[in-house]
Amino acid sequence: MTTSTRTVSGDAGTGSGPVVVTGLGVAAPNGLGVEEYWRAALAGRSGIAPITRFDPAGYSVRIAGQLDIEPKKHLPGRLLPQTDHMTRLALIAAEEALADAGADPKEMPAHAAGVVTAASGGGFEFGQRELEALWSKGGNHVSAYQSFAWFYPVNTGQVSIRHDMRGPGSALVAEQAGGLDAISKACRNVRAGTALMLAGGVDGSLCPWSLVCMTKSGRLSNATDPDRAYLPFDAAASGHVPGEGGALLVLEARAAARERGARILGEIAGYASTFDPRPGSGREPGLRRAVELALADARITAADVDVVFADAAGVPDLDRIEAATLAAVFGPRGVPVTAPKSLTGRLLGGGASLDVASALLGLRDGVIPPTAAAVHCAYADEIDLVTGAPREARLGTALIVARGYGGFNSALVVRR
Amino acid sequence: MPTTTFTMDDLTRLLRECAGEDDSIDLDGDIAGTEFEDLGYDSLALFNTVNRIERDYGIRLSDEIVAEVRTPGELLAEIAEHL
Amino acid sequence: MPGISEQRPREPRRVVVTGVGVVAPGGIGTKQYWELLTSGTTATRTISLFDATPFRSRIAAECDFDPIAAGLSRREIRRWDRTTQFAVVAAREALADSGAVGEMDPHRTGVMLGTACGMTQSLDREYAVVSDQGATWLVDEEHAVPYLYDYFLPSSMATEIAWMAEAEGPVGVVSTGCTSGLDVVGHAVDLVRDGMADVMVAGASDAAISPITVACFDAIKATSPRNDEPESASRPFDRTRNGFVLGEGAAVFVLEEYEHARRRGAHVYAEVAGHASRCNAYSMTGLRSDGKEMADAIGAALGQARLNPHDIDYVNAHGSATKQNDRHETAAFKLSLGRHAYDVPVSSIKSMIGHSLGAICSLEVAACALAIEHSVIPPTANLNEPDPECDLDFVPLVARERELGAVLSVASGFGGFQSAIVLTSPGRKAA
């Protein structure tokens, strides 16, 4: 092997120009598949409901954005014993995204396609089943699939195998912020010469064990009315609800996408990631810097942004910080802000990727999907929150903001 | 000695339970001589199935069995020696 | 600031290792670690962290880790999983070693950590509590410890280290199974090269010697059942090898943009000259025998480093001591390095410190940095009967002195991940 010539997937940084999105796959509590989700988002149809996968009566949190599927309808039977619910959703979204892009990695040169996903707790329901087997019956009852079905990069591995994607593979964890970090990392792979990257997050493995873990974040809503459980930016905000799903994006260099005649949904134009200082340090939170650095990375100013997809934590202190940040960067009510995640719950590693998908669909259709109708914005002097009904607008550029529990801030800019 | 038997039907039942089944493959046909790989089962699928057989039938098969047997027929023969 | 939409600067930013910190079996701290590795001593033993009697493989390479002696407070010990404790202690050593504290701009400093298993040990233990030893699926919220969400998210350890290092740049976790410790260094290097940070505290930690981990490797018979001879159980490239020996540990680095390091007169261990990762898209656990994806990763890493195969003076192998891995890897070296594969010394330190899953590759990168620093190649212990199918120079038993200009470290992991990284000596002349 000579080293002077670069391989198809050479990682040396060939500077291939802008990276664009050519395909989307979505799995959301209010819609499986891109168009079903998008119809629900525009109609303000919520996927948030009482938990039915198990009896939540004994828990402080009883509401979630649960996404149930009939796995046999979507996946080969051989994959079922070895996959967590979360991985099944990821496999469904991956298939849709590649089909949407009109791309088949099996037909591409070896190593020309890769995968980066965002994760949080991994395949937790699968993990709970095996922990139960271990503790109640003994170690020899633990599944041979446990060695990977629970682990964080399982979606990357399973998707790469199913579609023969032998290029770069990775998985990132930064709770909600990871969904943007994964897209940025995949953009780097495309810039470095990998022809196609599948990137984003599909997450959320709802089971008693994951729910108990998540309640300890102190950020989940104890409300029992699904319509009142997750009210970001509302005076009555009392936390969020957990949800399942996310989105995967097909990324390619714009020149290559044009050459093969692919439909281009938009460009990933800028990104930045920052971290909050230790609480009590007196230093400013990192969110504003993430937003400003992402705009700078896209070489645009705040005035160029047509819509912001907010992190929308649903926790009063965090909502206040975000509203103040957006007002400081864009001016009071300077840009429409929305939070379609108020209809899905927060999807851990999947939520921010779904927001990127929503932003791209919004650019495509010239419409801003609304925040849940029940939300009455308590920061109306600072942000222009789109609630209740979609708002038609000429959209050229969107900013997506994501914060991960523990201090992670990421921001990403997409444009037509 | 106990008179436990382990048939091809038992094996296909456990394969389905432990490792799933692809629609394109008929496990009820004559598969004794078909390689596991052609049936869609990799080493993980076999480990899962073999571990289950060991538990259910109280036998201990060789550590190398998954690497060594290539077909359901060969696996049945190995199991028969341990019953 | 260059980012997504732009091309790399014409003169790419170079990234160097200026600090190393280690928590490893056989010794806490870089000094003890290097003494162990170069003496060819093994740290594998019978598991003492829990009662492993019911399990098939009952051996591991454990860290003799005293958190109080390591400087952690009682509160930290109570709250933090062992994985986080290791990471924090290793990061402290790396930061002190680099001399960079006080010279890092928080906005230009980031943290990136790798892990395969995250806080598995705590999750395993706490599950037994809330489920009444597995008796109830509807686990009990009332009896759950308050730290469960920090155990759920492996990123919680990145948070602790970012706060400690006062880092407010990019922070996160890279998790790619057993290649995590290599991929995380690569990712951190990319962030510095792209201009998103000038300094990254990066490395990996795993402390997963726990019933659930031991059980899941038992289920696929990947670990060695040589319970009667724990000290010599990990036998990479040996004819008698029969699986890996589980390990634990952490290694963390201070990675710094070259000019940033030079301006402050920092000691440079090595430059990270290239890295790459591939998926084999074959199996979540199995390896194609041809080694093609690992070979491609090696080729790409060399290409990025602008090196030829014959420039590599030492290869730190994955060498897990499973039957399959060691053959796969031998094939990958021949495919990527050609004739040179037969000439270059290759060794596996897993023979001494076991396989600490996501952490091991960072420990191996640390070994490579120290090998360059000291001009010594650590040996492959327990290699007494070479496998004829693994017919390269695997540096059996005894360390070897050699000036090292460029070294290669590789990794292979569940999920199909294959990765390679190239480190070069600061004194090495540019090609």
What is the pLDDT averaged over residues A390-411? 98
Question: Of A259, A289, A310, which residue constitutes the final position of a domain?
Answer: A259
In a domain, A6, yes or no: no
Chain A nearest CA to C36, separation (Å):
30
The single residue listed with the structure tokens 């499986």 is A32
Residue linked to tokens 């540019």:
C430
Residue B1 scores a pLDDT above 90:
no
Sheet of strand C44-46: strand arrangement = C44-46, C59-61, C246-247
CB-CB: which of B17, B20, B51 is closest to A78? B20
Chain C 300-329, residues with CB within 8 Å of chain B CB atoms:
323
Give the tokens for residue C14.
């170079």
Closest alpha carbon to C190 in C413, C365, C12, C6: C12
Distance from CA of B66 to the nearest CA of C (A): 9
Q: What is the pLDDT of residues A237-266, one digit of tens each?
A: 999 999 999 999 999 999 999 999 999 999
Mean of per-residue pLDDT scores for chain A: 95
**Which residues of C participate in catalysis according to the annotation?**
178, 318, 355
pLDDT (tens digit, 9 = 90+) per residue, A141-178? 999 999 999 999 999 999 999 999 999 999 999 999 99
Q: What is the enclosing helix (H) or strand (E) of A71?
A: helix A71-74
Asked if the model's pLDDT at residue C6 lies above 70, the reply is: no
φ, ψ (nearest 5 deg) of residue A309: -95, 110
Q: Which of A268, A248, A271 is nearest to A103 (CA)?
A: A248
CB crowding C303-326: b at 16 or more within 10 Å, else e: bbbbbbbebbbbbbbbbbbbebbb
pLDDT at A124 over 50: yes
pLDDT digits (tens, 9 = 90+) for C81-126: 999 999 999 999 999 999 999 999 999 999 999 999 999 999 999 9
Q: Are strands C15-24 and C249-257 parallel, antiparallel or unpaired?
A: antiparallel
Question: What pLDDT was estimated at residue C10?
Answer: 53
Q: How far apart, in Å, are the Cα atoms of C8 and each of A3, B81, C382?
A: 20, 64, 46
Nearest CA of chain C to the CA of B27: how many Å?
22
User: How would you write C165-213 as a 3-class SS string?
Assistant: HCCCCCEEEECCHHHHHHHHHHHHHHHHHCCCCCEEEEEEEECCCCHHH
The residue of chain C with its CA nearest to that of B60 is C56
Q: Cα distance from B47 to chain C (closest Cα, Å)?
A: 6
Q: What is the pLDDT of residues A191-226, one digit of tens each?
A: 999 999 999 999 999 999 999 999 999 999 999 999
| Same domain membership, residue A274 and residue A202 | no
Stretch C38-65: mean pLDDT:
98
Round the CA-based radius of gyration of chain C to a whole number and report it: 20
Chain B contact present for C219, CB below 8 A = yes
Residue B5, pLDDT above cutoff 70: yes
Domains and CATH numbers, chain C: 15-263 (3.40.47.10), 274-424 (3.40.47.10)
Residue A147 domain flag = yes
On chain C, the residues whose CB falls within 8 A of the CB of B67 are: 323
Binned at pLDDT 50, 70 and 90, residue B24 comes out as confident
User: Confidence band (pLDDT; 50, 70, 90) for C223?
Assistant: very high
Token digits of residue C146: 């308050």
Sign of the torsion angle spanned by Cα atoms A397, C173, C426, A194: negative
For residue A167, what are its two tokens? 């290029």
Residues A243 and A298 grouped into a single domain: no
Give chain C positions within 8 Å (CB) of A292: none
Residue A213 sits in the same domain as residue A290: no
Residue A11 located in a structural domain: no
Q: What pLDDT was estimated at residue C2?
A: 41
Give me the number of domains chain A comprises: 2
Q: What is the pTM of this model?
A: 0.96
**Section C219-223 average pLDDT:** 96
CATH for A244: 3.40.47.10
Residue C286 confidence (pLDDT): 85
Q: CA B57 to CA A90: how far, in whole Å? A: 37
The answer on A291 and A162 residing in a single domain is no
Gap between the Cα atoms of C314 and C208, Å rounded: 30
| pLDDT at C429 (0 to 100) | 56
Boundaries of domain holding A398: 269-415
Q: What is the mean pLDDT of residues A114-134?
A: 98
C413 beta partners: C417
| Inter-chain touch B41–A140, beta carbons under 8 Å | no
Whether the per-residue pLDDT at A11 is higher than 60: the answer is no
Using a CB-CB cut-off of 8 Å, the residues of chain A touching B17 are 81
Task: Look at residue A80 and tell me whether its pLDDT is greater than 80.
Answer: yes
**A202 and A239 co-located in one domain:** yes
Cβ <8 Å between C5 and A3: no
Does residue C8 register a pLDDT over 50?
no
Q: Which of B 21-50 lie inside 8 A of C, CB atoms?
A: 42-44, 47-48
Supply the pLDDT for residue C285. Answer: 87
DSSP C66-79: -TTTTT--HHHHHH
Question: Is-contact C382 C398, C-beta < 8 A?
Answer: no
Name which of B17, B22, B47 is nearest A78 (Cβ-Cβ). Answer: B22
Question: Are both A301 and A213 inside the same structural domain?
Answer: no
- Angstroms from C67 CA to nearest CA on chain B: 38
Q: Among residues C85, C36, C18, C24, which one has the least CA distance to residue C360?
A: C24
Using an 8 Å CB-CB cutoff, list chain A residues near B67.
none
Mean predicted lDDT score pLDDT of chain C: 95
- E strands along A11-97, which residues? 19-28, 31-32, 49-50, 63-64
> For chain B, which residues make up each domain, given as ranges?
8-21+28-82
Asked whether residue A95 falls in the same domain as residue A223, the answer is yes
**Residue finishing a domain among A259, A287, A309:** A259
Q: Which CATH number fits domain B8-21+28-82: 3.20.20.140, 1.10.150.20, 1.10.1200.10, 3.50.30.50?
A: 1.10.1200.10
* Chain B CA closest to residue A149: B44
Choose among A147, A105, A65, A18: nearest CA to A350: A65
Q: B3 falls in which pLDDT band (50, 70, 90)?
A: low
Residue with tokens 């929308």: A312
Alpha-carbon dihedral sign for residues C116, C119, C122, C123: negative
Instruction: Mark yes or no for CB contact B63/C225 under 8 Å.
Output: yes
pLDDT in tens, A32-57: 999 999 999 999 999 999 999 999 99
Which of C129, C39, C357 is closest to A213 using CA atoms?
Answer: C129
pLDDT over threshold 90, residue B63: no
How confident is the prediction for chain B on average, in pLDDT? 90
- Over range C394-417, report the average pLDDT: 97
Q: Which of C149, C154, C303 sits opposite A3 (nearest CB)?
A: C303
d(CA C250, CA A217): 26
A25 shares its domain with A63: yes
Query: Which residues 23-62 on chain B approach chain A with CB closer than 8 angstroms?
Result: 23, 40-41, 44-45, 47-48, 51, 54-55
The H or E element containing residue A391 is: strand A391-392
Of all residues in chain C, the percent with pLDDT exceeding 90 is 93
**Minimum-distance CB partner of B18 among A76, A79, A81:** A81
Count other C-beta atoms under 10 Å from residue C407's C-beta: 26
List all residues of chain C from 263 to 292 with a beta carbon under 8 Å from chain B: 283-286
For the stretch C376-404, pLDDT in tens is: 999 999 999 999 999 999 999 999 999 99
pLDDT > 70 in chain C, percent: 97
Residue A2 lies in a domain: no
Is A3 a member of any domain?
no
The count of residues in chain B is 83
Q: Which of C242, C285, C323 sits opposite B44 (nearest CB)?
A: C285
